Each structure stands twice: as structure tokens, then as C-alpha cells.
Amino acid sequence: MKFPIRLTKKRIIWTVIIFLVVGPIAYNIFKPEDNSANILTEFVKKQDLKQTVLATGQVVSETDLSLSFKVSGFVSKVNAKEGRKVRQGEVLANLDQRDQAASLTSARGSLALAQANYQKVLDGASSEEVQVSQKTVDAAKSALENAKTQQATAVKNAYKALLNSTISAVANPSNSGSATVSISGAYEGNEQGVYKITIYNDAFVITGLESASGSVKSTPVPMGARGLFVSFSGTVYNGDYWTVTIPNTSASTYVANYNAYQAALETQKTSVDAAAATLANAEAALALKKAQARPADLKAVEAQVLSAQGQVQAALAALENTIIRAPAAGTITSVDIKPGELATALKEAIILQDVGNLHVEANISEANIALVKEDQPIDVTFDSLGPDRVFKAKVQTVNPASTVVSGVVNYKVVASLEKLDEIKPGMTANLTVLVGKKAGVLAVPQRAVIQNGKKQVRVVDDTKKKTYHEVEVQTGMEADGGLVEIISGLNEGQEVVTFIKK
């Protein structure tokens, strides 16, 4: 039997208190999870996008010349002063020129002599001059014959010494006897080769360079008709043989004799050639004396005149090397020489720049260089003028050759500059190159695009609960400000997830 619960005032109060305390706790335990506070979103908007490349460069003059002397010497005069404008060809400095001036005077004297010889050929030679030339020819002929005779004798003697380099007999290692064979005399032949001495029935037989035979004796016996003798000591047996090599390349004197012979040949050639050349010159001079002025003769002396003129030009060039001239009009920005000091050849002495015609040079990394093209607009600021002053420029050239800076591949970009007195060579320039822009295109923050084998964006379904689904998209320009162009997959006004807190 059930009894109804009696609701008293006290029980009602305690029931309400329990619901007020336990209710919120139970709700928090069993309520569905809401992550909307952890999700950041943005809306798909149509925007004007631009893409820029940043670089830091330096102001450079179109005319930026480092001038130096081509030779070393003491500075005589300096006309250049920093800040001074100069004309093309103007003398900026010069060295002491006394040696070069003397050489120029000598060259001009040689030119005058060549011109006088030219006139002399035109006039022809006197009989006295012909006689003198003939005597010179006769003397040269005699000298040539003497040179041939003397040098032939010297070569012959050296060759004879070579062939007689410690002539000795070398025994066959298989010889039965222990006899020693000695070679004496001097080899008078010219032929190189080998003598072979063989024992037959207590006699020797010689083959090779000569053919001969004789009794085996302890006293010298001729080996033939070329001046060598052979003698034996000890017991000999049939079939024993010895070889005598002419020349003896194993002799201690062979190398010295060979070198002496080669030197004699070289001296013979040099001496005879020199004597022959002297004779040829003498004969040519005699023929020239006897001949009338012919076109060929005139051309020869004309060539001498031209050669002398070349010497004058070389002397003028040497004199010019002591001078620094302005190769172009411009402004002197640095002078590093003083009168009286010793200047070193090719060491920078003066810097000439065209401060009114400047440009900016900057290095751009290989990651961005493909985006940079000629004529693209550039915003330029200068550290010395402050970030608020922006100057306009354009890309003039992009160097196709790379330059490695601190291990990074870069490419030099040259940008034009406005002509302003405030901008000076050497200033640091900050470049912002506009490489692309699009107006009124759909865009989202780049962080909204996720890579999951393909490009996707998480589109919000419930704005309050921030539930979403993933949509594949096609992107375009990656613009400044962390934005990316959306070509397809999204519509304007859609809410997309840009970040989820973990």
C-alpha cells in the first residue's frame, strides 16, 4: 500500500534549492561541445590586390670611374679637387715626365734620321760608298769561310772525343776462361757500332765495325785499321767473346763528352748562321748602293720612316701614361694623391662620377627574380631622407647572370631615379617593386587555404556554432598583406575559417 508524499513548505524550499544548484552542473556536464570561441574566421571579399618585391640597394652614378696612372712615379701636379666639375679630356693630374720626354726626343731624332735616309735613297749612293760596301762584303765572306772551317774542326774533335769515351771490352757472362781483354789506342773512325772479339783455336776474330783476326797476345795487336789495339791476359777458351761498343755509353765520361759534342754542333750552327747573315746584310747593302732608287727601295726606306713614326707614337703614349685625363664629363668625388708623393701604377687615385645621372643597383634573390620585369614601377625610399619621402622609379635592366652573396644566389637589378640634388651616390635605397596587381577580385587570407593533397578552404555552415565543411579552391596571385586571390570554389560574402586554436 503506497502513501502519497506530503508537500510541506520546507520540502518545497529544499527542492527548489537542489534544482538551482544541481541543474547548472548537470547542464555543463551533458551539454553539447561548442568550439566557436576557438575558431577565427574572415569573409570572402572582392579586393584590389597588389604583389611587391622588396630589396635594398645603393645609389650608383651612370659614370662611376676609378682613375689611376698606368705607370708608377712621383706626382708632379694635381689639378683635381673634390666637388669640382670637369670636362672630358681635361688633365686632372700628372707625374714627373722627364724620362718620358727624353724618350720622346730620342724617338723624334730616329724619325729625322729615317727621313734623311729616305732622301738619301732618292739621291742615290756615291762611288766611295760603293767601295766601302764592297770591302764589307769581302770581309764578311772571309769571316764566313773561317767560321765554317773552325767550327767543323771543333765538331770533329768533339765527336772524336765522344767516340773514344773510355773504350773497354765487356766479357760475355758465359765465357769459360777468366782472361781480361784490354783496349788501347784511339778510335779514328766516324761510324758508331760494336766490335765483337771471338776466340777460335787460340786466335781472335773481330767482326762488326771492322773485320780482323790475330794471335792472342799480352801485347797490343791491331783490331783493324781504325787505330784500336787489343791485348789479352789470362786463359782463353774457344767460343769466349767480348764486345766493344763505340761509343761506350756506360763510361763515366760519356755524358760530358756527349754534351760537349751537342754544344759544338749548336755553336757551329749559331756561328755559321751569324756569319752568313752578316754576309747577306753586307751584300744587300752593296746591292742597294749600286742600285738606282726603285719603288721597292723607296718602300723599304718608307717602312723605316713608318717604324720611326711608330716609335714617336710609343714615346707619346708613354708620356700620356703619366697623365690622368677625364675620360668623360662629370664631378670629382674623391682625390687620393698629393704632389710629391710616389703614386703606384693602377692604384685608384681619383674618382669621377656623374652625380646628375644616377640609378639604383640592388640584388634580388632567385626566389623572386622571375617576378621582376623591365619597366615595372618602383617606390624608393632612402635611409638618409626618411621613410616618409617616397620617390618613383622603374626597373631598367635585370642582369641575366647571377651573383652569389653570402651563399645566396642573387641577380642585380638596375632602377632609374629622378634627378634631385638630395640624392647622392652611395646612399642606401629601399626598393618596393610592384610586380603585379589585380582590381576587384575575390580574396581571402593565405592562412585560410590549407594543403591536403589539394588546396581547400573551410567554409562556415553555422555562423554561431562555427561548424564548417571543406571546399576545394583554385588560387591565383599571392598578394601583399597575406592575401591570396580565389579564382574558383568560393563566392563573395562566404565566411571561411582562418585559424583554429588547439
C-alpha atoms less than 13 angstroms from C-alpha of 123 in its C-beta half-sphere: 10
pLDDT of 32? 47
What DSSP line would sit under 451-494, residue for residue?
ESSSEEEEEEEETTTTEEEEEE-EEEEE-GGGEEEEEES--TT-
Contact 63, 328 (CB under 8 A): yes
Q: How many angstroms separate the CA atoms of 376 and 395, rounded?
A: 5
d(CA 398, CA 377): 14
Could you report the per-residue pLDDT of 91-136, keeping only the tens digit for each?
999 999 999 999 999 999 999 999 998 887 777 666 777 788 889 9
SS3 196: strand
- Please tell me the predicted confidence (pLDDT) of residue 3: 45
Cis bond before residue 445 (omega within 30° of 0):
no
Residue 6 has a pLDDT of 56
> Residue 413 and residue 110: Cα distance in Å, rounded?
54
pLDDT in tens, the chain (502 residues): 444 555 566 666 666 566 665 555 544 444 445 567 789 999 999 999 999 999 999 998 888 899 999 999 999 999 999 989 999 999 999 999 999 999 999 999 999 999 998 887 777 666 777 788 889 999 999 999 999 999 999 999 999 999 999 999 999 999 988 889 999 999 999 999 999 999 998 899 999 999 999 999 999 999 999 999 999 998 889 999 999 999 999 999 999 999 999 999 999 999 999 999 999 999 888 887 776 667 787 888 889 999 999 999 999 999 999 999 999 998 999 999 999 999 999 999 999 998 878 889 999 999 889 989 999 999 999 999 999 999 899 999 999 999 898 889 999 999 988 888 888 888 999 999 999 999 999 999 999 999 888 999 999 998 888 899 999 999 999 999 999 999 999 999 999 999 988 7
Under DSSP, the state recorded for 7 is -
> Backbone dihedral region of 283: left (phi > 0), alpha (psi from -120 to 50 degrees) or beta?
alpha
Q: What burial letters (b/e) apply to 359-396, b meaning 16+ CB within 10 Å?
A: bbbbbbeeebbeebeeebebebbbeebeeeeebebebb
The whole-number pLDDT of residue 30 equals 45
pLDDT reported for residue 293:
67
Instruction: Name all contacts of 122-130 with Cβ < 8 Å and 24+ positions apart.
Output: 122/293, 122/298, 123/293, 124/292, 124/293, 125/288, 125/289, 125/290, 129/289, 130/286, 130/289, 130/290
Residue 27 is predicted with a pLDDT of: 44
CA–CA separation, 373 vs 492, rounded Å?
32
Angstrom distance (rounded) from CA 182 to CA 343: 75
Q: Are 212 and 222 in contact (CB under 8 A)?
A: yes
Hey, which bits of 201-261 come out as E strands? 203-208, 212-215, 221-222, 228-233, 241-246
Q: What is the predicted pLDDT for the residue at 125? A: 60
Q: Determine how many CB atoms are found less than 10 A away from the CB of residue 77.
A: 12
The secondary structure of residue 499, as a DSSP letter, is E
466/38 Cα distance (integer angstroms): 9
pLDDT in tens, 135-161: 999 999 999 999 999 999 999 999 999
Q: What is the DSSP letter of 63?
A: S
Q: Give the cell for residue 304.
A: 723605316
pLDDT of residue 31: 45
Q: How many CB atoms lie within 10 A of CB 185?
A: 15
